[in-house]
A and B are shown apart, each in its own frame.
Chain A
């Protein structure tokens, strides 16, 4: 158990809909990362938050957004969903930024868009 909790574990929704994925980081971790894992694209970094502030952006679509709340949990919002958004979405957390810090992953949220 990594200590990173993600909900829901599985989600099936229709095209055009909007979903919210939730992540609770490990106790004490200030950084939260979101990754998308699909068969054809591998593991893609989406976005990072640090102590409530957006720190870095990766390959995140404009239809997607995220935020980190004062209690450090984070939500990833996916809207106007398309079939190609079907993937496994991971949240990860770490204590802070400095190189050498390990990031710990949750078990992921499986999103299926039909």
Chain B
């Protein structure tokens, strides 16, 4: 079946540090890949997405590249801010089948001033 594996958190960084949150997936066919962010007390918001191999999704300084050869979609940001503190979820929607999004367990990011 389809699955998403994220690095366990929390990830704790100082402001302006470089961020990487690892995400790997298992799926049949060619899934679409997503990163969602959940700020405290809020719902999940779409952060970025990529729908085919080698696509790069980007938004608000965050980037992730769809790597089919390594089945990965790692999230990166060059300089994090305190306001980036949140939980980040990697997700996939497989091609064919039910199209139900499969989520990773989430990675908590804490950014200190």
Query: What chain B residues lie within 8 Å of A107 (beta carbons)?
Result: 42-43
Q: Which chain A residues numbered 32 to 78 have a C-beta less than 8 Å away from chain B?
A: 33, 42-43, 45, 48, 55-56, 58
Which of A33, A58, A102, A108 lies at the interface centre, i.e. has the most chain B CB atoms within 10 A of its CB?
Answer: A102
Interface string of B67-105 (1 = CB under 8 A from A): 000000000000000000000010001111011111111
Q: Which residue of A lies closest to B34 (CB)?
A: A102
Q: Which residue of B lies closest to A90 (CB)?
A: B43
Band of interface residues on B: 20 to 34
**Do A99 and B32 contact each other (CB < 8 Å), given the known contacts A42-B105, A56-B100?**
yes
Interface string of A100-112 (1 = CB under 8 A from B): 1111111110000
- How close is B10's CB to chain A, nearest CB, in angstroms? 13
Dominant secondary structure of chain B at its interface with chain A: loop
Q: Are A42 and B44 in contact (CB under 8 A)?
A: no
Complex-state Cα separation, A108 to B55, whole angstroms: 31
* CB-contact partner of B98 in A42, A56, A104, A106, under 8 A: A56
A98 within 8 Å of B (CB atoms): yes
User: How many A-B pairs fall under 8 Å by CB?
Assistant: 56
Chain A: residues with Cβ within 8 Å of the partner, total of 24
Q: Are B45 and A105 in contact (CB under 8 A)?
A: yes
* CB-contact partner of A102 in B42, B49, B95, under 8 A: B49
Query: What chain B residues lie within 8 Å of A106 (beta carbons)?
Result: 43
Query: What chain A residues lie within 8 Å of B45 (beta carbons)?
Result: 2, 105
Complex-state Cα separation, A33 to B46, whole angstroms: 15
> What 3 A-B pairs come out closest when comparing CB atoms?
A107-B43, A105-B43, A42-B105
User: Which B residues are closer than 8 A to A by beta carbons?
Assistant: 31-32, 34, 36, 42-46, 49, 51, 89, 93-96, 98-106
